[in-house]
Each structure stands twice: as structure tokens, then as C-alpha cells.
Structure 1
Amino acid sequence: MSTQPIDVQSVLDGFDTPWSPRIPLYVNDYDIRIAKFLGEHVWHVHHETDEFFLVLDGEIAIGLREADGERVVTLPRGSMFVVPRGTFHMPSSEQGASVLLVEPTGTLSVGDEHDEVPDHVDATIGHRV
């Protein structure tokens, strides 16, 4: 783990690939992930963990499949949201966005269960910076 401050913009400048999160830091057993969003991800679910989103730049939408149907949560820059464990969800961004995520280390970016993963989505546990 780094003992020096990490500049978020430097992390973002270090990669271009959407849906391919980078891990600059760990907190206890959690990854602090930085990702770029563009287009649609994939419908997926994390059965055992919540997923935290903080929009650093741009705007994202998160589709949610809940007991009473589907809805979409829109998060502009500076907004935070937690997808509860066991909720199918699909993040997307029409214009592109930069997002900070917090998830337990080793969490697969496409969840425990998912639709077919498109080629533009990196099914990964994250890439260390």
C-alpha cells in the first residue's frame, strides 16, 4: 500500500479503457477503484456485497431491478449511491464519466451472476495502479 498521497487525476490519466477499473488504494479488505464509464455495462448482481459509487466527473445512470419493477437512478458529478447487495443493476453513461467505487477486494466487476458480458466490458477484479 502507498504511504504517499495519490492524485486521482493522475490515476485517470493513466488509462483510457472504459469498464476496466484501476485500484490505487486498499482500505482494510476493500478496494478503492477508479473507473471510466462509457456506454452500457452489463446487468449483474453481487449477492454478498453492496456497491458504492461516487461520480467524480460526468454523469451516470444505474438501472435497478427491484421487487416492484425496474427504475433508473441518475447520478451527476459529486453524487454518491449504494446499490444494495442482491440487487441486479446496470451502470451506464451516455457521455462518459469517471467514478470511484468501493468494493471488497476480489469482487468481480460483472458480479456473481450476469447477462452475457459484451466485448467492451472487462470482467476483472480490478487492475492495481
Structure 2
Amino acid sequence: MKFSPINFNEKFTKFSEHWSPRVIAEMNEYQFKLVKVAGEFVWHDHPETDEVFIVIEGCLTIEFRDGIVSLESGEMFVIPKGVEHKPSASSECKIMIVEPKGVVNTGDTGGDLTAKNDLWV
């Protein structure tokens, strides 16, 4: 067992790509992933699981078919399974996502923004 904390700021310095989650820890088959985001993502959903967005730095907007939520640093939002959503950020935003291991970032939508799974930093 390693007895040192995980420093978010230090981990964020290890990658520059947007919309490409990096795993920093696992707990009970759930992964904690850091992500840098900017611009618009794709409409997608996760039919089998909820998804947690925690804003570390910046502002994140999550659009839904029937509404919108804006998150600032220190805020989080849980998206229930099966709810279609589209995250976006007008400038770079640093977030943490908590979801089960193996979840594809674009759900079944696919496309150019589909990231490789299980990339650790």
C-alpha cells in the first residue's frame, strides 16, 4: 500500500489533451478520472450507470434535452443513468469524473472524441 496523497494539480500537469480522461484511483470497481475539457463534447448517455462530474477548476456547462446545469469550481452534479447530456466549457475546465471501470466517455455515440479507456496518470 502506498501512503501518499494524490495531488490533483500535479496530475493535471502530466497531460494536455482535452476530453481524454486519465485514471488517478480506483475504489470498488469505480474509477476516479481527471479530465481537461474545452469546447463542446457530443450528445451521449450511459444506459447502465450514473456519472458524477466534479469541477476542480473553471466552469462546466452540461446541457440536457430539457434543461441545463452550470457548474463552477467546487461544485458537482450526478447525471442519472440513461439521461442524454452534452458537456461543454467555453475555456479550459479541469474536472473529475467518477464512474464504473470500463465506461466509454462517449457512451454508444462513438466518434472522434471517444477516448481510450484505462489511461492512468
Shorter-chain-normalised TM-score: which range? over 0.9
Mapping of residues 5-20 of structure 1, within 5 Å: 5-20=5-20
RMSD of aligned residue pairs (Cα, Å): 1.5
Mapping of residues 108-123 of structure 1, within 5 Å: 108-111=104-107, 113-114=108-109, 117=111, 119=112, 121-123=113-115
Question: Paired residue for 2:81?
Answer: 85
* Aligned amino acid, residue 86 of structure 1: G
Q: Answer 1 or 2: which has greater strand percent.
A: 1
* Aligned amino acid, residue 31 of structure 2: D
Structure 1 residues 3 and 110: CA distance shift in structure 2, 3 A: farther
* Aligned amino acid, residue 81 of structure 2: R
Mapping of residues 18-97 of structure 1, within 5 Å: 18-65=18-65, 70-97=66-93
Aligned residues: 121
* Aligned amino acid, residue 115 of structure 2: A
Q: Identity, % of aligned pairs?
A: 37
Question: Paired residue for 1:105?
Answer: 101
Listed as ranges, the gaps of 5+ residues in structure 1 are: none
Q: Is the 8 A contact 1:109 1:126 kept in 2?
A: no
TM-score by length of 2: 0.93
TM-score by length of 1: 0.87
Counterpart secondary structure, 1:87: coil
